[in-house]
Amino acid sequence: MLRRLGPPLAAFALARALLAAGAVSAGLDPFDPRIFVRWDSGHYLGIAEIGYDLEPCKEESGYANGLWCGNAGWFPGYPWMIRFMSLSGLRPAASGALLSALCNVACLALLWNAFLGAAWNGPNAACLAMAAFFPGQVYHHAVFPVSMLTLCVLLALHFTEKGRPLAAGLAGAAAAVTYPTGVVLAPVLLVGSLLGGAGPRGRRWRSALRAPSLAVLGLAAVPIAQWAALGDPGAFLKVQDKYGHGWNWPIATLRRHVKPLVDGEWRWTSDVPALQSAFVALFVLAVAFRVIAAMRRRRAEPQDVLLIAFTLAFWLFPLVLGASVSACRAEAILLPSAVLLRRLPAALQAAAAAASVALAYPIALLFYYRVLV
């Protein structure tokens, strides 16, 4: 029990200690769950407390006439869990912060036991450290669905690797109803299912489609829930329309994210997030190069192929949507890719883990100072 739970619990405790130190530095009470409530958190809490709302944007909102406002632009999975936990008597903000913390503990425990084999060695220790302080770490503890989504993703990947398509599909469905990016898990599960398939080609494809199909069906719960609450199954798209998401070249979006690093003027409020985006890009490209090179030599582990498919899909998708997507939040969801750190040379493992820890503190401060959304 100590070998299986000790390291992830210790990593979680160290991560919380860093967040607490940041809160104290920002003049906040580290034991007050409201310090983890920011911007979009209010929408999730509103859905949990009173349900969905949709209305034309008012003039003072700053949006043009004809656009729609309200909390219908946010997915219901996380608020449903907050509402359930609030039945215990906890206030919604406390329920949300506790839910995120529990999901993060579960993520670290699952990653350590199912993906790293609960084996204490240098590479695995670096992977666990990077996971606990993964870029955007504060969002795994804040009142946002990031840690809940990441847990669903890890479960789906684990069950896919174990050849359990029904369980993987249900975890994928939970991811899809929790956060819009969750639907990207469907093609990743298809890749994983085909890797583990056996038998005639037609039967292998039918079996491989089970988990992705369930993941896509989970997305259908969103318009159904909004139809029941608002009488409008397209409410999510109406609200999101004003944010300007659309097709963008990923390289162009990434250049916008890292541009503050080369504009010649140091501003930590913009340069630190840019530094995080640059670090994540270098990490993703490094592990992708190692795994793809191993695939070409036919020496890649199926788990590594599944993880790199997830990493590339979840890294590229927000970049395609454009710079209006919060980079820090999107990068935080890549936590499962920390397992791939062990495929890099030892010096790079130590450097990447140390960089993750170093970035976590200033990013937390930016969150507490309400610079990050």
pLDDT tens string 21-37: 999 999 999 999 999 99
Is residue 44 classed exposed, middle or buried when 0-12, 13-18 and 19+ CB atoms within 10 A define those classes? buried
Q: What is the pLDDT of residue 205?
A: 64
pLDDT in tens, 145-159: 999 999 999 999 999
- Residues 334/277, Cβ–Cβ less than 8 Å: no
Residue spans per domain, the chain: 2-368
> Would you say residue 200 has pLDDT above 50?
no
- What pLDDT sits at residue 373? 82
Quote the mean pLDDT of the chain.
Answer: 92
pLDDT, tens digit (0-9, with 9 covering 90-100), for 203-238: 556 667 888 999 999 999 999 999 999 999 999 999
Residue 196 has a pLDDT of: 62
CA neighbor of 275 nearest in space, from 338, 172, 366, 175: 366
CA distance 316 to 137: 19
Between CA 122 and CA 371 the distance in angstroms is 36
pLDDT grade, residue 308 (50/70/90)? very high
Least confident of 25-34, 182-191, 237-246: 237-246
Is 201's pLDDT higher than 60? no
Contacts of 336 (CB under 8 A, 6+ apart): 111, 115, 150, 153, 154, 157, 307, 310, 311
Q: Which of 58-62, 94-98, 258-262, 306-310 has the lowest mean pLDDT?
A: 58-62
- Which pLDDT belongs to residue 185? 95
